[in-house]
Amino acid sequence: MQSLSYLSLDNQRQPLPQAAADAFAAQVGGGVLRRGDAGYDDARKVWNATVDRHPALIARCLTVADVQAAVRFGAAHRMLLSVRGGGHHIAGNAVANEGLMLDLSGMSGVRIDAAARTAQVGPGALLGDLDRAAQAHGLAVPLGINSTTGVAGLTLGGGFGWLTRRHGMTIDNLIGATVVTADGAVHEVSASAEPELFWALRGGGGNFGVVTSFTLRLHPVGPEVYAGLVVYPFAQARQVLRAWRDFSEGAPDELSVWAVMRKAPPLPFLAESVHGTEVVILPLVYCGDVAKGEQVAAPVTRFGTPLAVALGPTPYAAFQTAFDPLLAPGGRNYWKSNNFAALSDAALDAVIASASRLPGPECEVFLAQLGGAMSRVAPTATAFVGRDARFIMNVHGRWSDAKDDQRVREWARQAFEDAAPHATGSGYVNFLTEDEGERVAASYGANYPRLQALKRRYDAGNLFRMNLNIVPVVEAEAGALGEGAS
């Protein structure tokens, strides 16, 4: 009988009898794909085209029982295991090369309870799925800014976007979850049911299990918000960014203004002569009264002499897709990010200098304005610890030709290093790349020992390691930490 092979958790190639693979496939509602099967190549593709891996098996889960079967099968054979929700994470951890990939894209349902203002969301749902369903009722969850991002990965790593200053991070609006742990057991968790596991899920990434359902709090938003872009020439970057920083200090929570430095895309409201030139783009959203938003945001148009102003009442769900063309699947991507408690003149100068050396037309440096409601949550209230970050920089290397891999990566790394002396030293795990495992502990700060102890409690064998991995503590340490955390 023909046999398959796979990579084990200790990176050893192991045989897998065909009969075992066939028996497993019969337990999974959506079937199990193997190399050469129709649909295999589409299933293994993720957003970042630098990730080109071939799982031994892809389990297409449709139910909680399917997930349980896949987790138990992976654990029994000690297979390298990965979990794909939206497949958008920069590091490509959704794809276990020569291992077992759980494909949850078929579990993409979104159910809105408008009266209770809650959403129940499947792990395969994308931000656009949730935005559209919630906005039908004039409601929204604080999410990211790209509609093709997966809700699951975004939430487990923290989640921030245009609504974060007013309504907190995505994890601050998570009120319950269903999770399958490494032993295949199902746990219903919340602040009152298994609160330690619930705490760990809010920022701890995919380290503790496979979440098969998220219950999220909704807020009245829109359906129209005051939003749009203000575009300045890059020659005014120092003046504009200092004015933006100073304005941000007193901005109301309803207003979020970010700064993006890149070559101008062919936006219809920009003169053709501006297309392809270096610019500073200030995208903004005011999530309160539209008329008040126009008044509050007016100073943003006076930071310098703008090339264009495109602000006005905008459907919130539509603005959530505004940056999709710049972040479309299929590009090669490499990111480096820093958290800032404040932006000094020297920090801004370092960021501007990096943006002046863009290695390609799709590359950019953005600075996200945070603070507000996010900063008013205690750093120990959730696994996510970076509540002191008032700004996050993401150096976004994006290109299409593999021959540019080294050049773009070197630019991104240098930009990160140049800004690092002005940063907090912590990071945002959703932005960390595959070569930044050493930054994980710093990104969780004082919460890391507690997370390690919980990792040992729920996944002592580190089955869920295809992530920004939290390594389980040794048994003696786990006992001491467990006593302190209880």
Name the CA radius of gyration of the chain, rounded.
22
SS3 state at 7: strand
Contact 255, 297 (CB under 8 A): yes
218: left (phi over 0), alpha (psi -120 to 50) or beta: beta
Give residue-wise pLDDT tens across range 380-419: 999 999 999 999 999 999 999 999 999 999 999 999 999 9
Q: Is the pLDDT of residue 379 over 90?
A: yes
Q: What is 110-220's CATH number, 3.40.50.450, 3.50.30.50, 3.30.465.10, 3.40.190.170? A: 3.30.465.10
Q: How far apart are CA 349 and CA 347, in angstroms?
A: 5
**DSSP H or E segment with residue 479:** helix 475-485
Q: How far apart are CA 405 and CA 97, in angstroms?
A: 20
SS3 state at 296: helix
Compute the average pLDDT of residues 25-49. 96
Q: How far apart are CA 46 and CA 92, in angstroms?
A: 7
State residue 480's pLDDT score.
Answer: 45
Tell me the helices (H) and strands (E) count for the chain, helix number first: 15, 21
Contact 393, 338 (CB under 8 A): yes
Q: Is the peptide bond before 223 cis (omega within 30 degrees of 0)?
A: yes
Contact 139, 116 (CB under 8 A): no
Contact 16, 58 (CB under 8 A): no
Query: String of b and e for 185-224 (b: at least 16 CB within 10 Å)?
Result: eebebeeeebebbbbbbbbbbbbbbbbbbbbbbbbebbbb
CATH code that applies to domain 224-438 = 3.40.462.20
> In angstroms, what CA-CA distances link 288 with 146, 170, 250, 313, 414?
21, 19, 16, 11, 39
Question: What does pTM read for this prediction?
Answer: 0.94
Which amino acid, one-letter code, is at 438?
E
Start-end of H helices in 138-287: 151-157, 164-167, 195-201, 237-249
Q: How far apart are CA 163 and CA 256, in angstroms?
A: 8
Nearest to 201 by CA among 384, 434, 461, 70: 384
Q: Is the pLDDT of residue 1 over 50?
A: no
Using pLDDT thresholds of 50, 70 and 90, give the confidence band for residue 230: very high
> In angstroms, what CA-CA distances link 134 with 159, 162, 189, 285, 389?
17, 16, 23, 18, 28
Give residue-wise pLDDT tens across range 276-324: 999 999 999 999 999 999 999 999 999 999 999 999 999 999 999 999 9
Give residue-wise pLDDT tens across range 136-155: 999 999 999 999 999 999 99
Q: Is the pLDDT of residue 486 over 50?
A: no
Nearest to 157 by CA among 91, 62, 221: 91
Name beta bridge partners: 213: 178
Give residue-wise pLDDT tens across range 429-484: 999 998 888 899 999 999 999 999 999 999 999 999 999 999 998 643 544 444 44
Give residue-wise pLDDT tens across range 245-261: 999 999 999 999 999 99
Q: How far apart are CA 431 and CA 157, in angstroms?
A: 9
| Fold observed for domain 3-103 | 3.30.43
> In angstroms, what CA-CA distances link 160 with 62, 239, 256, 389?
28, 27, 11, 12
Tokens for 43, please give them: 């299933």
Nearest to 384 by CA among 416, 339, 423, 436: 339
φ, ψ of residue 426 to 5 degrees: the values are: -90, 170
Give residue-wise pLDDT tens across range 58-115: 999 999 999 999 999 999 999 999 999 999 999 999 999 999 999 999 999 999 999 9
Give residue-wise pLDDT tens across range 316-357: 999 999 999 999 999 999 999 999 999 999 999 999 999 999
Please state the domain extents for the chain. 3-103, 110-220, 224-438, 444-485
